[in-house]
Amino acid sequence: SLDLDITTDGVLTADTHLVQSWADLDFLKQSGQRTVIVGAEGAYVRDSEGNQLIDGIGGLWCVNVGHRRREIIDAITAQLETLDFYSTFYNFTHPAAAALATKLADLAPGTLNKVHFGNSGSVANETAIRILHHYYNRLGQPRKRRILCRHGAYHGSTHLTVAMTTPGYSQGWSREDSLVHHLRCPHHWREGQGMTEAEFLEVLKQDLRDTIQHYGAETIACFFAEPIMGAGGVIVPPEGYHQAMFEICRDHDIKYVTDEVVTSFGRLGHMFASEDVFGIVPDIITTAKGLTSGYQPLSATILSDEIHEVISGPGGMFFHGMTYSGHPAAAAAGLANIALMEAEQIPQRVRTTGKRFEGLLRQLDRHDIVGEVRGSHFMMGLEFVKDKATAAPFAPEDRIGLRLAREAQKRGLIARPLGNILILSPTLVMDEALIDRTAAILDDSIAAVQ
Q: Shortest approach of ligand PLP to residue 322 CB, angstroms? A: 12
Nearer to ligand PLP, 231 or 439 (CB): 231
CB of 215 to ligand PLP, least distance (A): 24
Q: Report how far apart, in Å, the C-alpha atoms of 36 and of each of 10, 12, 312 are.
A: 6, 6, 47
Binding track, positions 126-155, relative to ligand PLP; x by CB under 6 A = ----------------------------xx
Minimum Å gap between C-beta 261 and ligand PLP is 4
We find the least distance from the C-beta atom of residue 51 to ligand PLP, in angstroms, to be 25
Distance CA 9, CA 304 (A): 50
Nearer to ligand PLP, 72 or 262 (CB): 262
Give the nearer residue to ligand PLP in terms of CB position, either 10 or 269.
Answer: 269
How near is the Cβ of 60 to ligand PLP at its closest, in Å?
6
Taking CB under 6 A as the rule, which mask of x and - marks residues 94-123 in contact with ligand PLP?
Answer: --------------------------xxx-
- Which residue in the shown chain puts its C-beta closest to ligand PLP? 121
Give, in degrees to the nearest 5, the angle at Cα 416 between 410 and 417: 95
User: Is 342 exposed, middle or buried, given 0-12, 13-18 or 19+ CB atoms closer than 10 A?
Assistant: middle
The pattern of x and - marking residues 260 through 289 that bind ligand PLP according to CB under 6 A reads -xx-------------------------x-
CB of 157 to ligand PLP, least distance (A): 6
Query: By CB under 6 A, which span of 32-40, 195-203, 225-233, 377-385 interacts with ligand PLP?
Result: 225-233
Among positions 56, 58, 230, 282, the unique one binding ligand PLP when judged by CB under 6 A: 230
Closest approach of Cβ 259 to ligand PLP, in Å? Answer: 5
Task: Look at residues 61, 162, 85, 24 and name the one whose alpha carbon lies nearest to residue 332.
Answer: 85
**Pick 48 or 301: Cβ nearer ligand PLP:** 301
Q: Which is nearer to ligand PLP, 220 or 228 (CB)?
A: 228
Stretch that binds ligand PLP, among 256-264, 317-325, 377-385, 430-438 (CB under 6 A): 256-264
Number of residues written out for the chain: 450
Sites for ligand PLP among residues 285-314 (CB under 6 A): 288
Residues in touch with ligand PLP (CB under 6 A): 120-122, 125, 154-157, 226, 230-231, 259, 261-262, 288
